[in-house]
Structures are given as C-alpha cells and as structure tokens.
Amino acid sequence: MIPVHSVDEIFEVIRQAKDNDLNLRFFGNTFPCPNGSDRDATVDISPMRALVACDPEKQMVKIEGGMTLLELSEMLKSFNLALEFAGPMPNFTVIDAISLGMIASNTSIADSLEKCEVVLPSGATKEVRWPTEKEDKKAITEGEQRPELSLQSVVSGLGLSGVITSATFKCVPLHTLLENNRRVSLAQFLENWEKMGLASYICASWFALNDTILVTSAFSMRLHLSYKQPVLDKICEAIWMAATSIASALRSWSAWLFPRSAALMSQAHCFCLRNAVRHRTNFCFPVQKFVPLKQHCRGVKWILPSNRKESVLKKLSVWSLEHPELCSSPAEISIQRHARRINSFLSPHTADHTFSIQVDWFQ
C-alpha cells in the first residue's frame, strides 16, 4: 500500500511504476480493494483530504479526492451548505464514490458533480467537465468524436478512467429532513408511487412474505423550523433497533432450519423495525444518513426505470412466496430523480426517474 499526500507524489509514483513496469491501482480506502498480482501496486489516495476552495455565494465547493462524504458534509455546515444527495449511504471517500457511480436514495452523485481534476495514465493532468448539450447533440448527429475524457466516462460506475485528485460539487442551502414513517401493502405502495416522488427522498423496507412495506419519506425543512428527536424517543429507537438486530439474526437461522417459520420470523423482524422507526416519525434528521459499508454492499442492487416498477416488484413477490426460506429478509427500495443533463457513458440509470431495489435473497 502506497499512501500519497499530493499530486506531485502521484506523479512520482507513476514515474516509478513506468520504470519498474508495474500496474497501478488507485483507491480511496473506503471500498474493498481485491488482491492483485505481483506486478500490481496499490496506491491509497485517502491522505489527500483538504478543502481546496469554497464559494458560498455560488454554492460551490472544491475538495481533494481523499475526503470522505461525512467529512465533506460536516465541513459544509460551517458554510450553511449541504450536499444534494440524501438518505442512507456509505461513508465513501470522494474518489470511491465517483468511480463507483454512487446512487443515493434520491439521486446519483453525478447530478451534483460539476467538474473533476484527474491525472491520466500518461502522467498528464486534465480538468474534465460535462460537455454542453450542443456539443453532445452535434457529436451524435454528425458523428464527431467527443472529447478524449469528460465526466460522462468518469462517473460511468466502471471504475477509474483517471486518478481523481479533486472534485467540484454544486451544493444546496443547509436544511434538515422531516421523517414520516408508515406501513403499506405492495398494492398501496404502487398506487401512491407518483405522490411519494414529491418527497426529498423515499426509502422502503419490503417484507415480501408478509406483503408489508415500511416506507420512510423525508421532506426538506428549514433549520429554525426543525423538530429535534427527544431523548426518550432516541432511547426507545435504540432499544427497538437492538431488538431488530436480534430478530434479524434469528430470522436468518430459522429460515434455513425451519423453512415454514420464515414468514413468522419475517413478521417479527418487521414488528421490531416498525416500532423503531415509529420513534423517528415527525422529527428532523441530517440530510445524509451514513450506514456501514457491509450494509450497503449486502446482496445485489438493481437500478431500473420507474416504468418497470409494477412488473418487477410483482414478479419478485411471486418468486419470494415460492422460495420463502430465501426471502425472509427485507428488500430495500428507494426512488431517484435524475437531473436532465448529458447522461454518462454506460450509465447505471437509463431514465429521468428510476428506482433501486437491493436484496440478499440470492446469496
């Protein structure tokens, strides 16, 4: 592992790698990096975590690629700013989040990213931006070649196309989110889909064996109007979350040993989680909710156009009833709205409105 603290050190690492015929792998030290061959060298960019510039009037911030999203959000509070993407997300470093094309609960990281500075494999530096709509349409209609590197390829979700040394984000005014939690059936969830899209973000835990969805919707609130969660509710939430963890562990084991008990244990898990989130209803919380990486990387996650929601969810519902021993855990659903801008190459989202569903049924 080779830690770097500046762009000059990156140049030196690249030069030495060329001299020794080594392959370089850069990462931000927040996403697992698999072991490589003897000819691979892993470079850790996480020490590069400084604030480069901030313009509160234009609501723009430029930071180095090793800064984590939690550090960035905490720093922005001092400027009365916040990141646009919201809801549960892992505390990635900026370089990891951009390289993976991170999808948050309400949008993707691409929608608030304005530009990046990258070091190319040749050792040259380049500032990459989104091409203008006119440039992109001209390239499509006339067959002209696009720029060598743009943000369309940087945020494709396929990994690094250049070493991201700094990134510039468009921010929003600092605010909090008022949570509302309720229980609905799958039919009710699909029926109210369009109305739910009006919230700042939507997250839902779907217990398919019980036809129950616990929906969390959050709405933007000004700071001086926010309602803080009382201490008693915090304690009750913590107790019920501990009970939820125990119920989840028991559910996982009993579903395999006693398949017929899968629906019952899933219902117990749902009951504990429902009581936990009940103590968050009508209170305000920070825009981002950072979750452990293990929870974020659990199972498989699909990003699909919203017009496929009914067919996909109903087919999954039927499949879960046929395989109850595999489907006792909740599926996590969220709804995204993407800005109407130039789509990234091989984009993980294919429409203005998408939804994501994460399950661990196939492990």
Structure tokens at 43: 């470079």
Strands of the 113-119 sheet, one edge to the other? 51-55, 60-64, 163-170, 113-119, 125-129
Q: What is the pLDDT of residue 323?
A: 87
Least confident of 63-67, 156-160, 223-227: 156-160
Residue 181 has pLDDT above 90, yes or no: yes
Q: What is the pLDDT of residue 277?
A: 94
Q: What is the pLDDT of residue 193?
A: 86
Q: Could you tell me which of 54, 40, 49, 99 has the C-alpha nearest to residue 69?
A: 49
Taking the C-alpha atoms of residue 192 and residue 256, their distance in angstroms, rounded to an integer, is: 35
Tell which wins on pLDDT, 154 or 98: 98
CATH class of 176-359: alpha beta
Q: What is the pTM of this model?
A: 0.83
- Say if residues 313 and 190 touch (Cβ distance below 8 Å): yes
Q: What is the average pLDDT across 57-69?
A: 91
Residue 144 has pLDDT above 60, yes or no: no
- Say if residues 158 and 100 touch (Cβ distance below 8 Å): no
What's the start-to-end Cα distance of the chain, in Å?
Answer: 31
Give the domain ranges of the chain.
2-171, 176-359
Least confident of 56-70, 174-188, 189-203: 189-203
What one-character DSSP code corresponds to residue 145? P
- Say if residues 108 and 169 touch (Cβ distance below 8 Å): no
- Say if residues 119 and 162 touch (Cβ distance below 8 Å): yes
**Integer angstrom CA distances of residue 110 from 234, 296, 345:** 34, 19, 12
- Say if residues 20 and 38 touch (Cβ distance below 8 Å): no
Q: Does domain 2-171 have CATH number 3.40.50.10860?
A: no
